[in-house]
Amino acid sequence: MSVPALRATGVHAALGGVEILRGLDLSLPAGRWTSVVGPNGAGKSTLLKVLGGLLPYTGAVHLLGTPLPNLSGRQRARQLAWLGQSEGSAEDLSAWDVVMLGRLPHQTWLAAPSAADHGAVEQALRTTQAWDWRERPLGQLSGGERQRVLLARALAVQAPVLLMDEPLANLDPPHQADWLQMVRAQIAAGRTVVSVLHEISLALQADELVILSQGQVAWQGACADATTHRALEQVFQHRITIHPLAGHWVALPK
C-alpha cells in the first residue's frame, strides 16, 4: 500500500482559545484529488492550515510519510504548496514577481532566479492564463485575475502536494472549468490536490470527499458513492439533495 500524501492522527487545534479540531483522524491518498466540505465552522480551513504546518496543533501529522516537525521550513515548502483565502494583497508586486515568490523554497538566499525558476514561473502563468498581464502590479488586476496569479504562485512551487482553500473565489464559470482541468492535469502528473470548496457540486467532481462536522471527520469516501451522498445530506441536515446530471453529481438545496 502506498504512503498517504497526508495523514493526521488525533489532531487537536484551536483558534483564539476555541477548540476547532477535536481529535481528528484522516488519511489522504497520494496522486488523488480530495475535496473537503462541511458546514460553516466545521474546521475546513483550520484543517488545511494544520496539514500545511501553518498552525500549532497537538497530535501527529505526516507529509508523505515524514512527521511534519521533522521537516525544515524549506523542505516542507518544496513538498507542499499552499494557496489560502485572500490574505495579503501584494498590491505593488507585479504578477511575475508574485509567482516568482513560489520559487523561494528552491532558491539559495539572495541568488538570482535560475533558468528553471524562470521556466516554472512562465509555465504556471500560462497554465492559469495569466501570462498576458505578468508585468502588471497585482493592485491593478480584477479579483478573478488576481486569483489566477495567486494560483500560478502555488503551481510554480511544483510541489507534489497542493493544498487550496477556496481556490475558486472570484473565478467566473469558464475559469472554474479551467481550474478543474488544471487540477486533473496535476493529478495526471502524479501530484496530490486537496481543496476546500464551499460549492458542493464542484467539490463532488473530486476523486474523494472528506466531510467535516464539528472538528471531526464525519465521512470519507469516493465522490461517486451513494453512501457518500447520503452522508453529505445528513451532515447538511437533509437541507440538500444530490442528483446525477450529465455524468456529474450536483447538490441542490431543498
Partner 1 sequence: MSPMARMHRRAGWLALVLLGASLVLLGVGAAVGATGLADLRALGQDPTAWPIVRDIRLPRSLGAWLAGALLGLAGAVAQGLFRNPLADPFLLGSASGASLGVALALALFGISPQAASWLATLGLTGAAFAGAMGAVLLTLALARGVQHTLRLLLAGVIVGVVLGALGSLITLMVPETLPAMQAFMLGSTGFVGWPACVPMAVAFVLCLLAAWIVSPVLDGLSLGEATARSLGLPLGPLRLALVAVMALATGAAVAQTGLIAFVGLAAPHLVRSVVKTTHGRLVGLSALAGGVLLLGADLLARALIAPQELPVGVLTAVLGGGYLLWLMHRGRGGRVA
Which residues are at the interface with partner 1 (CB under 8 A)? 49, 52-54, 72-78, 80-84, 87-94, 96-98, 100-102, 104-105, 109-110, 113, 118, 134-135, 137, 139, 150, 153
Which C-beta is closer to partner 1: that of 97 or that of 178? 97
Shortest Cβ distance from residue 152 to partner 1 (Å)?
12
Shortest Cβ distance from residue 223 to partner 1 (Å)?
27
Shortest Cβ distance from residue 150 to partner 1 (Å)?
8
Q: What is the DSSP string of 198-239?
A: S-HHHHTTSSEEEEEETTEEEEEEETT-HHHHHHHHHHTTT-
Shortest Cβ distance from residue 173 to partner 1 (Å)?
26
User: What is the helix (H) or strand (E) element at residue 25, kind and residue range?
Assistant: strand 18-28
Shortest Cβ distance from residue 62 to partner 1 (Å)?
18
Which C-beta is closer to partner 1: that of 23 or that of 139? 139
DSSP 3-state of 172:
coil
Which C-beta is closer to partner 1: that of 138 or that of 242? 138
Which C-beta is closer to partner 1: that of 167 or that of 232? 167
The answer to whether residues 62 and 4 touch, using CB atoms and an 8 Å cutoff, is yes
- End-to-end CA, the chain: 40
Residue 190, phi-psi category: left (phi > 0), alpha (psi -120 to 50), beta (remainder): left
Which C-beta is closer to partner 1: that of 44 or that of 134? 134
Query: From the centroid of its chain, how far is CA 77?
Result: 14
